[in-house]
Amino acid sequence: MASIAKRSLAASGLFEAEVLTGLLLWRWEHPLKDDVEFRGVLLESAAEVLRRAAAGEQFLESVPALEMNLISAIWYVEWSSIQSPGEDQDGSRAEWLELLRRSLPSCFCAQEELPPG
């Protein structure tokens, strides 16, 4: 069976991945949620993270490379982008990252840490 990273990568090109990206931004009120170009770049960059994770590259300490999923990849891309000076002057993007991670903790841990069932 393919790894979570490979399955997530395969799904990243589907329309549903675009919808999920938009919903993540909208539901948790990302400050750039209405920027269509931002959403597209975010999803494309997340697909690249998944491609590299599927090849074994580690991005998040808490998520094994082969268990990287689309949501954690989107989170990682946004986290990486605000590491540049001036990208999040008011802290709203960092707040979105924290809120998303707290709201969906199962996307940010190893599968073995999830409860059975």
pTM comes to 0.95
pLDDT digits (tens, 9 = 90+) for 70-115: 999 999 999 999 999 889 999 999 999 999 999 999 999 998 888 8
pLDDT digits (tens, 9 = 90+) for 27-72: 999 999 999 999 999 999 999 999 999 999 999 999 999 999 999 9
Q: Is the dihedral of CA 77, 83, 85, 86 positive or negative?
A: positive
